[in-house]
Structure 1
């Protein structure tokens, strides 16, 4: 494990200290996750004397069992943590790492063009997993319980089985052809070679044994010894390029969160290799110069979109793995820089993306999961974890029980060519040995003098803008359940289009936005499965919200 810098601090704002003191306790706990079985796992561990961090381990591992399309121990995660007794705030970077044998040319076809199949399907698409290391690190350094207790609910779910929900089976159908290529994945998820019907019970004894190894041996149970040898051998047999050295060198990294002010509140969010925190700071700094509450929907949407456009341009230009790439973080998150960007926004006219100081001209999926926790002591956990596209790379090494991720596609495998989410990048996010790909995952806290929000979401490139819209809605008075249910819109610089959920805007508002020069694209499918909790320290009330776009989500306060 690498600790990058001293992280313990008590933030003091204009209105005074906002760090949660030991006497400032909600007395109850709130957990919102994408699956009721994972939420229940978190409360089971809290009931055994665990804290929010033990619960985070339990929820994370349980989601890895019951939502294999979204995340798993073959993927990675960002754990944003706030410890109540001393105000310590830290982000644990458990992002996947490129293998030592990484070579961008492996992902090109005979004509030198990006081979999308290699970048998202099969073992070459997989980075070295980080989630197992994070589970161990959180339990050993922030939790109160041993791993055997915090992982017990997930182990039980894997061994005894559960019935995958309709959403999971839908994604399984979408990825059936890829999963069918791999013997290990097809044996686990396609009984009889077909997508199962609702009511099918998925039992995964191999995953239960893997989790038991982690519970018993910690980091070495996954990244060393006989298990690591079996894993590497299996990846190589399917055409991958992992090595024992890759697994041995993987470490969780503690990183200082991005922290900035918005409307008298402290916003604590994910630093690189997440692009989310910097982009969120840039957008909120821009929007802080406007009185959004006084504007009509069209005026407000126009300004928010223009802030999104500029933040995503900078994402493509500057951001990458902080251990290898120097980034102008202070400048990008500065209110002065935001003021300059704000000055470039015309209040009545859209800015064409190709007219901004350019990074690249336009060139000719979307899963993950998030959960939010506040415990009775006031500890906070916002965790976003993923295997990238649904069911990751579609590969299961026999005897392991988990899917490999396809996070190598989050690198800029060929400069200027969009990845599966339409995001472009350059050398700062190029695939190189031991680098961690840029992510959009944006677990976030908003801590004010009286209220605290814990928020995050899946959604690929749309994660950052969904978190932005959720925060803006919270400031406008929405409850967690309201803000996770709101219709969404998104702009990411390229393509120069506002993506909107079906019926997000009535016809008159769409026409008004088009009159300002915006292009709108309405999709049939919703996106994101946001989970948020908040705490009103003045009244003592805890509230939770789980996105109704999911079918098994659960937000519980007790």
Structure 2
């Protein structure tokens, strides 16, 4: 992947909510103009958001419309069978609030769920099972966001998604590649295989895919609201699919133990965001149970002590990797659901603590594994014990890398940065019969064995890496950024901020630059084509080395930049994930 500096001003258009004809400029990854803006990885999803903005809806309305449409076009990464995190900026009040609608463990869940004999079970076996499914939070999150800060009803904002699900959309190469990756898992579940496979193989690119069952689900929400999901026939269908997964003949997977009470009792959480500062910017992100906001802030606090702008790029990138390594050591050791664990967040966010961690960095040589630090002396919070009886060990855990992120702003300056997921590509693989959506495998985000802050417990939310972020400068919005990618979400957001602020790249270049993901593992994750490049060789001189396994792509980010002249620039991927879709209400000239 090579840097791709994209043109700043590309055309957009205004369309009606139910008219999804593909214009000649479809899938432009960068668009500048005035009014509202949207960036998603899906053209129909971006069009859905824009149509809601053009009908007078605000950023919250448009974000839900885009998210619902992504549930149709990107069903392997998100949907009503999962959960997420939403960061909302209210322009009139100049206030940021976050909405946690992460999945929770059913009341029956036990700490040894994934290690019944004391040994952690195989990860893939755990994923494709009813026991992997957490109580979905997406629909409750959409309802709560619309109810408190939206201006439109479910019926209005779900209309574009119903249209796409009913009429269908053409599969692109990226969709087909993801289906191929999941052929084995999907084959276990006939309801999923029938929709996405033919004779056991992924449907070919160009296929028109309709999902009338999902359209039916959205119509139920349109007429019955949030209760239609968490009670009644749909809730019973979810419980049945979890507890008695509908599998192919001769197949056996582990069942779950979810109850109607688990669904009826699900609640989202309005939480105060994580706030930090970096070189004149205020960064506002998700608090626990997302580890993203804290980890990004700690890494930036560490980097702030270096004059990165004056350095050669390779030295600055070396320091970025070392700061990420130290922050991940702390993230892995301390962070989990705040309703179950008293994490030392204030200490981890302390500038003084960052200075101590910074002392461990050798500007000339990489350290290949960092130990967690001791943030407790910097805690200054009498409600948290000075330190646990024994500090947990830091370890790199398996975490699925598949989610989606979208960004929306409206003409009044309201902003939504929203990341939501069903966890692995294709989630648990279980499609709820008759309702057209795949259930999550979010419970595999817990540590399978303990002791550890992130072990499974009844009613607990697994730690997440989702990192929707809004940056401010001089009290005004400067940019948003977020991405999918499991634990690489954190490094994608961190590196994009580093590229933009410290390396001076404009946002399209910052977002499209090669991604380097250091998460305190034995080797650093990179994208295809990076190894052997001049940039890679320069970093190798600092002792950095790369994961030979490699990954296809790291992240699929979306951003909005709020320019000093009052215009906005929506930015999506220029190459990754089949190219993203950036739209504005009124195009620039």
TM, length-normalised to structure 2: 0.85
d(CA) in 1 for partners of 2:504, 2:278: 15
More deviation, 377-386/180-189: 180-189
Aligned residue in 2 for 1:539: 565
Aligned pair 1:122/2:129, yes or no?
yes
Deviation at 1:158, TM superposition (A): 1.3
Partner residue in 2 for 1:156: 163
The 1:64–1:528 alpha-carbon spacing in structure 2 relative to 1, beyond 3 Å, is: same
1:22 paired residue number = none
- The 1-side partners of 2:164 and 2:202 are apart by 21
**Distance 1:305-1:136 versus aligned 2 partners, 3 A rule:** same
How far off its partner does 1:507 sit?
4.7
Alignment partner of 1:465 is 2:499: no
Indicate yes or no: 2:172 matched with 1:165.
yes
In the other structure, the counterpart of 1:275 is 291
Contact persistence 2:50–2:583 (CA under 8 A) = no
What CA distance in whole angstroms lies between the structure 1 residues aligned with 2:424 and 2:35? 35
Residue 335 of structure 2 corresponds to residue 319 of structure 1: yes
Contact 2:165 2:215 in 1 (8 A): yes
1:140 maps to what in 2?
A: 147
Residues 404 and 421 of structure 2 are in contact (CA less than 8 Å); yes or no, is this contact kept in structure 1? yes
Work out whether residues 108 and 115 of structure 1, in 8 Å CA contact, stay in contact via their aligned partners in 2.
Answer: no
Q: Is the 8 A contact 2:470 2:477 kept in 1?
A: no
Q: 2:478 aligns with which of 432, 439, 452?
A: 452
Specify the alignment match of 2:48 in structure 1: 41
Q: Show the counterpart of 2:460.
A: 435
Matched, 1:223 2:230: yes
Residues 395/355 of structure 1: CA separation in 2 closer, same or farther (3 Å cut): closer
Q: Does 1:526 align with 2:553?
A: yes
SS in 1 for 2:39: strand
1:6 corresponds to: none
- Three-state SS of the structure 2 residue aligned to 1:384 is strand
CA contact (8 A) 2:120 2:448 kept: no
Counterpart of 1:372 in 2: which secondary structure?
Answer: strand
1-structure distance, mates of 2:397, 2:430: 30
Identify the match of residue 417 of structure 2 among 371, 375, 382.
Answer: 382
Greater RCO, CA 8 A, separation 6+: 2
Alignment match, 1:423: none
- Taking a change above 3 Å as real, the CA distance of residues 164 and 330 of structure 1, as seen in their structure-2 partners, is same
2:101–2:138 CA contact under 8 A, matched in 1: yes
- Superposed CA deviations along residues 83-116 of structure 1, whole A, max 9, x for unmatched, are 1010121111011111111124342376733232
Shift of 1:363: 9.3
Cα distance change on mapping 1:194 and 1:260 into 2, 3 Å: same
Q: Give the match's secondary structure for 1:107.
A: coil
Distance 1:472 1:199 in 2: 38
Whole-angstrom distance in 1 between the partners of 2:133 and 2:41: 24
Residue in structure 2 matched with residue 347 of structure 1 by the alignment: 363
- Cα deviations by residue, 1:368-424 (Å, 9 ceiling, x for unpaired): 111111211111110011111111111012112100111111100123xxxxxxxxx
The alpha-carbon deviation at position 191 of structure 1 amounts to 3.8
Q: How much has 1:224 moved relative to structure 2?
A: 1.1
Partners of 1:50 and 1:428 in 2: how far apart?
Answer: 41
Partner residue of 2:203 out of 183, 196, 210: 196
Shift of 1:519: 2.3
8 Å CA contact 2:480–2:560 kept in 1: the answer is yes
Aligned ranges for residues 90-129 of structure 1 at < 5 Å? 90-108=97-115, 112-129=119-136
Return closer, same or farther for 1:244/1:451 CA change in 2, 3 Å cut-off: closer
Q: 1:402 aligns with which of 437, 451, 454?
A: 437
Q: Following the alignment from structure 1 to structure 2, what is the Cα–Cα distance between the partners of residues 28 and 111?
A: 56
Which 4+ runs in 1 deviate beyond 6 A? 361-364
Which piece of structure 1 moves more, 139-148 or 499-508? 499-508
Distance 1:502 1:551 in 2: 15
CA shift, 1:501, in A, is: 2.0
Give the deviation of 1:524 after TM superposition: 5.8
State the match for 1:247 in structure 2.
Answer: 263
Within-5 A mapping of 1:75-90: 75-90=82-97
For residue 27 of structure 1, report the CA deviation from its aligned partner. Answer: 4.9
Match of 1:58 among 57, 65, 88: 65
Aligned to 2:303: 287
Q: Distance in 2 between matches of 1:373 and 1:165?
A: 24
- Whether the 8 Å CA contact 1:36–1:552 is kept in 2: the answer is no
Selected match of 1:502 from 525, 528, 535: 528
1:131 aligns with 2:165: no
2:578 is paired with a residue of what secondary structure?
coil
Q: 2 CA distance for matches of 1:362 and 1:429? A: 13
In the alignment, is the contact (CA less than 8 A) between 1:530 and 1:546 conserved in 2? yes
Greater Cα offset, 81-90 or 232-241: 232-241
Structure 2 unmatched ranges of 5 or more? 1-32, 246-254, 374-391
Structure 1 stretches lacking a partner, 5+ long: 1-25, 416-425
Give a deviation string over 1:68-97, Cα, whole Å, max 9, x none: 111111011111100101012111101111
Cα shift readout 1:205-261 (whole Å, capped 9, x = no counterpart): 111111122222222110012321222123222222110111011111111110111
Contact 1:56 1:383 in 2 (8 A): yes
What SS does the corresponding residue of 1:550 show, helix, strand or coil? helix
Alignment partners' CA distance in 2, 1:505 and 1:376: 43
Tell me the residue number matched to 2:348: 332
- 1:465-510 CA distances to partner (integer Å, 9 max, x unpaired)? 11011112222433332222111101111x2312222344765553
CA distance in 2, matches of 1:362, 1:150: 40
* Alpha carbons of structure 1 residues 109 and 249: separation in structure 2 relative to 1, 3 Å: closer
**Whole-angstrom distance in 2 between the partners of 1:478 and 1:335:** 26
Query: In terms of mean alpha carbon deviation, does 81-90 or 189-198 score higher?
Result: 189-198
Q: Is the 8 A contact 2:85 2:468 kept in 1?
A: yes
SS in 1 for 2:365: coil
Note the alpha carbon deviations across 1:273-293, whole angstroms, 9 max, x for none: 100000011011111111111
Partner residue of 2:193? 186
Q: 1:211 to 1:519 in 2, by over 3 A?
A: same
Alignment equivalent of 2:393, drawn from 359, 365, 373: 359
